[in-house]
Amino acid sequence: MSEAGNEMTESVVLCAPDGSAAGTAPKATVHHRDTPLHLAFSCYVFDPAGRVLVTRRAYDKRTFPGLRTNSCCGHPAPGEGMRDAVLRRLWHELGIVPAELDLILPAFRYRAIATDGTVENELCPVYRALAATDEVTVHPPEVHEAWWVPWAGFAAQPDGTDPLSWWGVQQVEQLSALGPDPFAWPLGEHALLPAAATP
């Protein structure tokens, strides 16, 4: 099924300003110039050597096509736990079943505007995953390409000709503040997740 077809059947969790659930909406109707606040997640996948998996969003995606970004993003379905949603999308987009998955930034929130005026407005907890190997199988409707890079180089964000996603820039800044070694980052408190997030 195409991304557009998936969006017609998928729903996202809408959120009130305090992070509580405020209903649901079809994914296809959510992202526009006045996008409502909704629940999402981001994940950074590391291999045993400590490299992070960087991805490029598919060029035919409706929102932020072709953008260089973190390993995986997505939206929990209504009633779906955050951890289950992350695991689902890691497998769907990258063919990865992580050996470990940890919450790092439970309260991350951002708002970004694409060049076409589309707004992203998310409560977006950030997770760290450890892959057992460096093998990746990208799902073309979602991911154009994926590659491994040392975290230090990625965190420096040196490539001005290939900008990192807006949320990625903010997340990397907050993750880097936790220390230079991604495996030593302190775990986030689940109690700080948005109230709309189920365990």
Which is catalytic among the residues 73, 93, 120, 124?
Answer: 73
160 CB-near residues (< 8 Å, 6+ apart):
none
**Sign of torsion over alpha carbons 182, 187, 193, 197:** positive
122 included as an active-site residue:
yes
CA separation (Å) from 119 to 112, 167, 198?
A: 6, 12, 25
Alpha-carbon span 95 to 183, nearest angstrom: 22
- Asked whether 110 and 170 are in contact (CB, 8 A), the reply is yes
Which is catalytic among the residues 3, 122, 124, 142?
Answer: 122
73 included as an active-site residue:
yes
User: What is the signed CA dihedral for 99, 105, 107, 113, rounded to 10 degrees?
Assistant: -100
Residues identified as active-site: 73, 122
